[in-house]
Structure 1
Amino acid sequence: MLKPVPLIALVGAGACLAVTVVPSAFGTDAPADAAAKAGTCTIRSADKHSEAPLSCLGVTASLDHLPAVGEQATLTVDVKAQADVKNAGLSVQLPPALRIADKDDGLTAPKKDDFGQRTSQKLALAPGTRTVEIKVKAVAAGPAQIQADISDIDHPDPRRAGHDSVELTVGTSKGSTDKGVSVSKGRATKVQRPGPGTRAPRKVTPKTPAPAKAADASAPAANAQTCVNGTFRNRFQSAEGGNWEAKANRDEPVSNANVTLWGKPTAGGATRKLATGMTGNGNGKFNLCYTPTTSTTSVAWVEFRTQAGRMWSVVDYNGNQYATSSYALNNISGTANLGNVYANEGQSRAWHALDTLNKLWWNRGSTTNCWASSEQDGRCTPITVQWYPGSTDGTYWTTNEDKIHLADNDPDSEHTTVHEAGHALMGKLYRGWWPQVSNCSPHYVNRASSASCGWTEGFADAVSFHTFNDTTYYWGNGASMNLANDRSTSGIDQGDACEARVATALVDLWSQVDGGWLKSNAMMARNPQSSFREYFVTDRPAYGLDTGSKARGILWKHTIWY
């Protein structure tokens, strides 16, 4: 058995990406910058564990001091370039707790929405550092995050992008503001009514069992006399539907999240767990019922956690789940409705990542109630994502801890989250075994690496494309690239050492030959592969999957031939 090795899906330095591309992959004739060609760019903002490529663009954001409510501070944004970039885009976003009081003339007029204020500027960059200053005023107390992004608009390559953030907890009096944020536990965000941004649900929900409930979960009692219900929702920003200047604002229900009803049956009594359950799939609804021992319950509230049954979860830096609590209900009896309860805004990305994994769960291609057919009911292993505000620990998954690490803005890209989950899924199909992968650090989606790297990364890309029924990859900063290809596509290397070719060949095989990926996954659970060649030439015919003229025609279209 080959020794398992860490699998790292690349994050563009500062851009928090899961796959890596070069400018020529965007179908332009513009040559890559000389510095990038020579490999002399050295900017890195990702964690040491990431195998991110070094970037030619970087950005840093800093405050001259930490303002309390009513005070102003100077935000300095330094853009560093090690190459000529004719059309760079700088985007700065402030949270609702901060406001732009004054700014450099080149920045656009501030735009305000539920996520705060943002401003942007297009820059023509030469090697060196450009500085932009913004006067900000603190207007509300609590956790706050400032974000800055720089990217090459014409060539959104992770080697030509950067991301940075500043986290602070705004205080109410001078000197009371602290560095960093603590958002693992928080109250629900107050929202007057659902806003725009809800996407149309999938027209057909695959008939797959729901994730197993937590061990202490219980269904509402048949003779329950008191119930608390409502809908759990999340407001977040999505790279899907956005661009370098602004991401798409979304307001959507959270599916299959664990929820607990806590309360004190009598005034002054001890807090008790009254009922547990999960939010509804696709609608976020919950209805928690229990049989009271008194005519009224003194106080009760609902707590939501970033865990779906026992099948997947999102944890913070310390490995703890995020929790959002509703406001308290007093002296309740019968049925009480909380209406729309919104996830704490500081936890928004954690809830987005949790709900993104729900999209993969319902179409995961397993013959059991586990993530993979290699696991039997009752012995399932979960998928765990670690994320926290300002994180540079991403983007990757490793075999030794079986955990996905997402950097700060990674959850904004659902394709990134599912790409990493694709690695975890392959690890489960292979029962913990992993092929010896070579020449994969770094790797680029449109360039040949090795047959083993093309296979493992191509499969993860294919999982993302299969989940969202597309071939467009979205990065956490809002940039995107359509990776559809055929024999006439330029800028993408040919053959099975190129992950883009493997990914698109796989999704075409699944959709046009296999009738889905259920049989393919079952085959992978029986016989692990080290390359796409082994998958197609050896294992598909042995398992009874077609490798005839139509299947070979698909490979030929994507420049693969055996």
Structure 2
Amino acid sequence: MLFAPNAWSTPEGIPDAIDAELIVNEVAPQGRQSEIECRFHSRVGLLPDTRLTLGLPEDARVIGGTDHLDYPLADSESASFTARVVFTGKGYKEVRCVAASDSHFHRGAAAIQYLHIGPDRSTVGAHPFDPARPLSVVWPDGASVVRLPSEENYPVPHRDTPPPDAPIELAVGQTLADMTADAGQSSRRSVSMTVNGRFQFTQVANSSTLLSEVALVEIVDATDNNVLHSCYTSMQGYYSCGPFTLSGNAVRVRWSPYFSYLGDEFMVLNPEMGTDKKLDNTWSFTTGKIYAPMNGSYQIGTYIVDMNTPPQGTYVAFNLLKDILDVWRYIYNEAGVYESPVQTGGSAIVQYHWDYLHGYAVPTHYDFYDDRIYMDGSADGAGDRYVAAHEYGHAVMRYMYYPSYPNAVNCASHHIYSESSVGCAWSEGWAEFLAMLPRSDGLYRGHNVEAASWGYNDGHAWQNGPAVEGRVVGSLWDLLDNVADGYDQYSDGNIRRIWEIVHDDHPMTFQAFIDAWVARGYPVAGPANSLYQNTIQ
């Protein structure tokens, strides 16, 4: 019997709401019956609407027992189920026991185990990364150079360990045609150098679109992996790191989805590397060796991380960072800089699992207790560019309200168009509103909140009133935007008044927000019509 503990931990001193355990009672060869048990334990009181699930790959089928359980866990109560599973394919398989309770601050937990299924014998063990595919590198002269795949393209597990050498190395300024065998073969005296270039990544929604974002750049000594210099890219992806002194003969360049400013910290963690909040566990990408034959400034061209760049999911991590920083920047530029001291939306730690093929990673949610955004790779997770921004909206509210939070009852299965509760509608409507801010089209995940007035139906018949999150986000949007439609003829033009109320007064419902608006002496007649446009009277 093999045991996998809860793989998602919480910071010291903060209680975990649910513990998850995965027990492999028996692992059998391909085509034969294995037995997997999932155990869960609640530690924070009643958790209604809790769904317990066994996540399996596509080539696995359950032939006995069950792969899920809907169970309202009480305080200190345990629940478990067992599944008899047949794996029809061979190779490495990831299995998960997942618990999700949307009604309790979107709480979730998971235990993970890897199995290697063979035709004659199966084992339990760690998952190796898949072989890399070639990486295209665009150099300043426009020539396309294909660097052969090698293990060095994977994240460095420990930053005090140098990455392995590449089978083929390309010196700065060389092409494959004029590469010589003696490039960098001898040790060199210390040189002073600066590395310049550009870093981009493809968009999740459209692989032909290239994106850029502020990201951490580190120049590391290729011999001992020590960081020689660090800098950030610009929002357009350009960077110039240096000057720094190199005693060896080559460096590597590493990019990480990390940013820190004004005390706020943003990072996207790869749980395959670790779940502790530290730079070593981020989704990083590292180049091959770049040789430095003399003092000077080195242009290494544009590196593009796409869906084929190993490890799988790296490009998604940079997309997630961009989606969140777009919201952070909007708050900072449109509201925060006008306050004294300057106000921001706060930090965001994202834990992203790349498994977008099967969708059985820990469900996408924001965890109130450990202040962390969990993202899976499904169409309702990292596959949708609104979702990370939405979850960051919950983090922003916690940052402002802590330790209080709206009472989000009836929120286990909520929709933008349906009634839940005034607490749920306020917290979800706020998160949807923030996710819309960097875009000016009035859309949220295909729903046009600008058009959603009385009797609106976009394939879903929208319900009315302040317990409907779409009505809340529509009201906030109409207070902000400058588009006159129907009863809505009002515009604040910016989010400063909205931000000040939420930041300072901590309303727990949309009605409390309206009360604070009136108490502050803000305009009433125009905003009242904007709210009526959104069925709130």
Shorter-chain TM range is 0.5 to 0.7
Cα shift at 1:191: 1.5
Q: Is the 8 A contact 2:138 2:301 kept in 1?
A: no
Deviations, residues 361-406 of structure 1 (Å, cap 9, x unaligned): 2212568879x969867x9841111111225212211222111111
Matches within 5 A, 1:101-250: 180=127, 182=129, 190-193=135-138, 225-238=192-205, 248-250=206-208
The one-letter code matched in structure 2 to 1:493 is Q
Match of 2:270 in 1: 316
**Residue type of the alignment partner of 1:456:** S
Change beyond 3 A, Cα 1:48–1:499: farther
Alignment partner, residue 298 of structure 1: 249
Does 2:368 correspond to 1:405? no
Q: Structure 1 residue 285 and structure 2 residue 243: aligned?
A: no
1:192-248 deviation line (CA, Å, top 9, x unaligned):
559xxxxxxxxxxxxxxxxxxxxxxxxxxxxx951111111113421xxxxxxxxx3
1:383 partner amino acid:
A
Q: CA deviation at 1:422?
A: 0.8
Q: SS in structure 1 opposite 2:376?
A: coil
Partners of 2:252 and 2:115 lie apart in 1 by: 28
1:560 is aligned to 2:536: yes
AA matched with 1:558: N
Match of 1:362 among 316, 319, 329: 329
Superposition deviation, residue 449 in structure 1: 1.1
2:464 aligned to which of 485, 494, 504:
494
Instruction: Tell me the equivalent position of 1:331.
Output: 292
Question: SS of the residue aligned with 1:237?
Answer: coil
Residue 454 of structure 1 aligns to a residue whose secondary structure is helix
Aligned partners of 1:279, 1:51: CA distance in 2, in Å? 45
Separation in 2, partners of 1:252, 1:441: 36
- Tell me which residue corresponds to 2:410: 439
Q: Distance in 2 between the 1:403 and 1:420 partners? A: 9
Q: Is the 8 A contact 2:115 2:125 kept in 1?
A: yes
Deviation of the 1:353 alpha carbon: 0.5
Residue 235 of structure 1 aligns with an amino acid whose one-letter code is T
Instruction: Give the secondary-structure state (helix, strand or coil) at the position aligned to 2:267.
Output: strand
SS at match of 1:340: strand
Q: Is the 8 A contact 1:374 1:525 kept in 2?
A: no
The answer to whether the aligner puts 1:540 opposite 2:513 as a matched pair is no
Secondary structure of the structure 2 residue equivalent to 1:301: strand
Equivalent position SS for 1:228: strand
Whole-Å separation in 1 of the counterparts to 2:535 and 2:255: 48
Match of 1:506 among 457, 461, 476: 476
Q: Which residue of 2 aligns with 1:106?
A: none
Q: Does 1:350 align with 2:317?
A: yes
SS at match of 2:536: coil
Structure 2 CA distance for partners of 1:399 and 1:293, relative to 1, 3 Å: closer
Question: Following the alignment from structure 2 to structure 1, what is the Cα–Cα distance between the partners of residues 117 and 242?
Answer: 38
CA shift for structure 1 position 180: 4.1
Q: Structure 1 CA distance, aligned partners of 2:371 and 2:208?
A: 30
Instruction: Provide the secondary structure at the position in 2 that maps to 1:393.
Output: coil
2:214 equivalent to 1:256: yes
Change over 3 Å in CA distance of 1:481–1:285 after alignment to 2: same
Contact kept? 1:514, 1:545, Cα under 8 Å:
no
- Work out the CA distance in 1 between the residues paired with 2:398 and 2:238: 33
Contact 1:368 1:375 in 2 (8 A): no
SS of 1:428's equivalent?
A: helix
Larger Rg: 2
| Corresponding residue SS for 2:397 | helix
Structure 1 residues 190, 470: CA separation in 2 closer, same or farther (over 3 Å shift)? Answer: same
Give the Cα–Cα distance (whole angstroms) in 1 for the partners of residues 292 and 480 of structure 2.
Answer: 56
Specify the code of the residue in structure 1 equivalent to 2:430: F
SS of match in other structure, 1:555: helix
User: SS of 1:446's equivalent?
Assistant: coil
1:545: how far off? 2.6
Residue type matched to 2:256 in 1? R
Report how many aligned residue pairs link the two structures.
376
- 1:369–1:376: 8 Å Cα contact kept in structure 2? yes
**Shift in alpha-carbon separation, 1:462–1:402, aligned structure 2, 3 A:** same
1:469 and 1:552 map into 2 onto residues whose CA distance is 22
CA distance in 1, matches of 2:479, 2:335: 23
Confirm or deny that 1:427 pairs with 2:378: no
CA shift, 1:292, in A, is 2.7
Whether the aligned pair in 2 keeps the contact of 1:168 and 1:181 (CA below 8 Å) is no
Cα distance in 2 between the residues matched to 1:169 and 1:405: 26
Determine the C-alpha separation between the residues in 1 that align with 2:341 and 2:351. Answer: 23
State the distance in 2 between where 1:307 and 1:487 align: 44
The alpha carbon displacement at 1:293 in A equals 6.5
> TM-score normalized by structure 1?
0.57
* 1:301 CA displacement: 1.0
Structure 1 504/167 Cα, relative in aligned 2: closer, same or farther at 3 Å? Answer: farther
* 1:94-145 Cα shifts (integer Å, max 9, x gaps): xxxxxxxxxxxxxxxxxxxxxxxxxxxxxxxxxxxxxxxx999x9xxxx999
1:416 is aligned to 387
Quote the Cα distance in structure 2 between the aligned partners of 1:226 and 1:546. 58
Q: Is the 8 A contact 1:170 1:178 kept in 2?
A: no
Do 2:115 and 2:123's aligned partners in 1 also have CA atoms closer than 8 Å? no
- For the 8 Å contact 2:350–2:375, the answer to whether it is kept is yes
- 1:496: Cα distance to partner? 0.5
Secondary structure (helix, strand or coil) at the match of 1:313 reads strand
SS of 1:249's partner is: coil
Q: 2:213 touches 2:322 (CA, 8 Å); kept in 1? A: yes
Take 1:523 and 1:551, find their aligned partners in 2: how far apart are those partners? 15
Post-superposition shift, 1:61?
4.8
| Distance (whole Å) between structure 1 residues aligned to residue 496 and residue 220 of structure 2 | 40
1:526 to 500, 504, 513: 504
Counterpart CA distance in 2 for 1:169 and 1:559 is: 56
Q: Does 1:275 align with 2:233?
A: no
Task: Give, in whole Å, the separation in 1 of the partners of 2:326 and 2:363.
Answer: 22
| Contact 2:426 2:469 (C-alpha < 8 Å) held by counterparts | yes
3-state SS of paired residue (1:288): strand
Q: CA deviation at 1:542?
A: 2.3
